[in-house]
Amino acid sequence: MDTFVQQLINGLTIGSIYALIALGYTMVYGILRLINFAHGDIYMVGAYAGFLLATQVFNSEPSIFAFVIVLLGSMLIAAIIGMAIERFAYRPVRKYSRMTTLITAIGMSLFIEYLFVFIFSGTPRSFPQLIPNDNYTIFGNATISTSQLLIFVVSILLMIALQYIIFYTKTGKAMRAVSFNLNSAKLMGINTNFVIAFTFALGSALAAAGGVLTAQYNPKIEPLMGIITGLKAFVAAVLGGIGNIPGAVLGGLLIGAAETLVVGYGSNIGIPSTYRDAVAFAILILVLLIRPAGLLGSNVQEKV
């Protein structure tokens, strides 16, 4: 039982990160019907922004304050980069077919990855510890570390903030309107370009938060770290129902828990731990076969 609880904690930790990234995929899809492939790389950009802030700009003793500054700083930087990508790569091709934008997104993703390889080289960098790491025993033998707690607390806070922005602010209302119908929203006097840019900023900031939180938990960052994590977050978004915000969170947690339990218990039923990634994608295929719209993705009204 201890082991099961421990595995669940492990799984929900990475699941929370997937959820944070999946939110960005799902919001952009909700508004533009675009799979933003560069989104996984924004997660990486966020980690590097945090790394530069923590080592070059704000090099201080570990403290909660240092962590908050680095987290907010990298979210801001990523938001700006996300908006820039939208403005210079996606907006010019938005009027063409959806396939054009999709291919632009793939190109953007490769561009960011190899730009970072060029600038920082592929060497893994170690992210400084911003908060002293401790372990707390919570259930029998099951432990949780400070960095894991941080992941839970910060992602829950961010998700509450996101929910507030979408349902209780004017911009949020505009986002929901645009996701219903972009052209009608434009006719109603909504500045759709602003709303789209804002959505990219929100999604990118969440991904960057995921990047910094992961780097606290696992202090190794490298330019291609966003590929697999981004793909799994995308699977999480599809699993929950792409375009659906609670679905993205649910999907992220499920994928995280599923792959951890495969490693933990798969060997008992003949699935070696190497198949952890295969499981995420097998789930994607199953969901697409059985429920093409995802777990929560029926005709939900509040698509964003």
Partner 1 sequence: MKNFFLAFTLIFSVLLSSACVDKGGTNNNGSTGDGAGDIKVGVYGDTTGATSSFGLSTKNGIQLAFDEINAAGGVNGRKLQMIFEDDQGTPEKAKTVISKLISQDKVVAVLGEVASSNSLAAAPVAQEAKIPMITPSSTNPKVTEVGDYISRVCFIDPFQGSVMAKFAANTLKAKTAAILGDNSSDYSKGLTQFFEQEFTKLGGTVITKQTYAQKDQDFKAQLTQMRDQKPDVIYVPGYYGEVGIIARQARELGMNQPLLGGDGWDSPELWKLGGAALKPAYISNHYSADNPAPEIQNFVKAYQAKFNTAPDSLAALAYDSAKVLADAIKRAGGTDSAKLKDAINQTKNFAGVTGTITLDASRNAVKSAVVLELNPAASKFDFKETIYPEGMTAPTTTPNTNAMTNTMSNANAMTNIIGNHGRGQ
Binding site for partner 1 (CB under 8 A): 3, 6-7, 10-11, 13-14, 35, 98-99, 102-103, 106, 117, 121-124, 126, 133, 135, 141, 143, 145, 214, 218-220, 222, 224-225, 228-229, 259-261, 263-264, 267, 272-274, 276-277, 288, 292-293
Of 61 and 189, nearer to partner 1 (C-beta) is: 61
- To partner 1, the closest distance from the beta carbon of 281 in angstroms equals 11
CB 11 within 8 A of CB 256: yes
Q: Rounded distance, CA 256 to CA 233, Å?
A: 9
CB of 73 to partner 1, least distance (A): 22
C-beta of 123 vs 183, nearer to partner 1? 123
* Cβ at position 113, least distance to partner 1 in Å: 12
Q: Least distance in Å: CB of 110 to partner 1?
A: 9
CA angle at 24 for the pair 89 and 178, rounded to the nearest 5°:
75
By beta-carbon proximity to partner 1, the closer residue of 106 and 153 is: 106
Closest to partner 1 by CB, 179 or 229:
229
Length, in residues, of the chain: 304
**Other Cβ atoms within 10 Å of 43 Cβ, number:** 28
Least distance between partner 1 and beta carbon 273 (Å): 5
C-beta of 169 vs 273, nearer to partner 1: 273
Which H/E stretch holds residue 125? strand 125-126
- Give the span between the Cα atoms of 104 and 176, in whole angstroms: 25
Nearer to partner 1, 99 or 187 (CB): 99
Q: Give CA–CA dist 229/232, Å, rounded.
A: 5
Say which residues have a Cβ less than 8 Å from residue 179's Cβ, sequence separation at least 6.
Answer: 30, 31, 243, 303, 304
Alpha carbon distance 96, 35 (integer Å) = 15
Distance set, CA 147 to CA 7, 93, 133, 182, 228 (Å): 16, 41, 7, 40, 21
Least distance (Å) between residue 41 CB and partner 1? 14
